[in-house]
Each structure stands twice: as C-alpha cells, then as structure tokens.
Amino acid sequence: MTGTPAALHGLAALVVKDGVALGGLGEDTRQQALGLVWAGLEPEAMTEAAINAALKRQLAGAVRCLATDHVELRRWLCDAGWLCRDGWGRSYQRAARSALPAARQALATALEQAFAGVGAAAWVEGLRAARAAERLARRRAHEAGPPAAAGPSTAGAAP
C-alpha cells in the first residue's frame, strides 16, 4: 500500500479481494467502498437507467470486489447519503461533497486526492496488479522450495 493515504488503507485492502458483501464490512470500510463508487460517478443528475448503467460499469471495474448487484448498490448509496434521488426514483445525483456529513467530506477529499490525475479505476487496477505480482512472487518462492544449504551439515555429528 505504498503511496496509499492512511485514510484509505482499508479500501486498498478491500479492492484486491473478490466476492465481498457490503453488509459484512465494518462501517468505516463500507463507507470507503461507497465513497469509491461515489468518486466514480458523474456529478450531473442521471435517470434511473443511466445510474444503473454507471453502477454496472463500476461493478465490472473499480468495485468488482463487491458481491452485489447495481440495485442493492444503489440502495446502499442512497441510504448512506452518497447518492440523492427524487421522491419517485426517476432522477439520481451524486451528493455534493459539501452536502455529505463532515466525516464523509474528509473521506471524499481523500478519495479525490488519491485519484487525482489517475482516476479511481486506474488506482484500483494498480493495487490489484501489485497484489497479483506479490502473490506470484510468493508462489514462485514456494515452488522453488527452501534455499539449499551452503555446505554439509555438521548438526548432530560427533566432535
């Protein structure tokens, strides 16, 4: 997690996994995951079809670690205040950072700073690639076996 702000270490650990249920996460990590989705949404108002398409793209990309569908994700976002909708569910809009509770404003700022110039999807892909490289290195080391001894062992030999 080199280069990852401390406020996002939980998120960095999450996005390299697969099949994670939002309901099983602690509150801080869940808010980070929802914030990641928020950061990837356009600020303009969207129809229900448009928000569904945007969430499906994110579930296939930056938040593919989550085991959910776009409908459940949309509900989580609305319930947590990251996404606003009209009373009929016809129009959805990413909440303005200033409209978020103070703790989420700080998280939103950390997310925007982490993704500046890179984007959320590229940030996640970088973490996933680093994790895959670490796993490959560990597997190769395991397959190679223990290092060979430098010389004949004298353990247990008579003096």
Residue 156 lies in a domain: no
Residue 91 lies in a domain: yes
Residue 2 lies in a domain: no
The pLDDT score that the predictor gives to residue 2 is 53
Q: On the CB side of 2, how many CA atoms lie within 13 Å of its CA?
A: 2
Residues 77-122 pLDDT 10s: 999 999 999 988 889 999 999 999 888 999 999 998 888 888 888 8
Structure tokens given for 131: 């994790």
Residue range 43-52: mean pLDDT, rounded: 96
Contact between 16 and 62 under an 8 Å Cβ cutoff? The reply is no
Residue 152 lies in a domain: no
Task: State the pLDDT confidence band at 158, using cuts at 50, 70 and 90.
Answer: low
Task: State the pLDDT confidence band at 126, using cuts at 50, 70 and 90.
Answer: confident
Taking the whole predicted model, whether its pTM rises above 0.85 is answered as: no
Residue 50 lies in a domain: yes
More confident site: 55 or 128: 55
Domain count, the chain: 1
Task: State the pLDDT confidence band at 123, using cuts at 50, 70 and 90.
Answer: confident
Contact between 64 and 18 under an 8 Å Cβ cutoff? The reply is yes
In terms of residue numbers, what domain contains 127? 7-144
